[in-house]
Amino acid sequence: MIDPDKIGLVLWEVITLLSVLLGGIGLMVLRRKVNGRPGFTEGDRQLFFGPRKITVSTAKFWINFSAAVFLCFFIDVLEFLIFGWLGPGLLTMVVVLSSIGIVDKLLF
C-alpha cells in the first residue's frame, strides 16, 4: 500500500510542475504578443502536434548538441546562484525557459 504522505507529496509536485510549465508558456505567449507576433505559430503547432523533421548532418548535430549541453549546464549553475534563494518554483521556470531557448537556437 502507498503511504498517504507520499501521495500528497506527489500530488503537490504535479501541481507545481503544471503551474511552472503553464506559467512559462504564458510568459512566452505574452512576450510574443507584446512584440506584435502571434502567440501560437505554425512552428509551435508542428513542434507540439506534428512530426518535425530535422535535416542536419550528424557531425553538425553532435557539435551543436555538445554546445547546448555545455551552455545549459553553465547557465543553469549561474541561474541557481542568482535565483536559488527565490524558491524552487521560480528557479525551475527560469531554468526551463532558458534551457529551451538555448536548445531551440542551437538545435532547431
pLDDT in tens, 15-27: 888 888 888 888 8
Are 98 and 25 in contact by the 8 Å Cβ rule? The answer is no
Total tally of structural domains belonging to the chain: 2
CB 32 within 8 A of CB 39: yes
pLDDT of residue 52: 59
- Reading the block at residue 76, the C-alpha cell is 543553469
The verdict on 70 and 90 lying in the same domain is: yes
Q: What is the pLDDT of residue 56?
A: 64
Burial class (CB in 10 A: 0-12, 13-18, 19+), 26: exposed
Residues 73 and 94 in one domain: yes
Containing structural domain, residue 71: 54-108
Please check whether residues 46 and 77 belong to one and the same domain: no
Mean pLDDT of 58-86: 88
Cell numbers representing residue 33 in the block: 504578443
Q: Whose grid coordinates read 538555448? A: 102
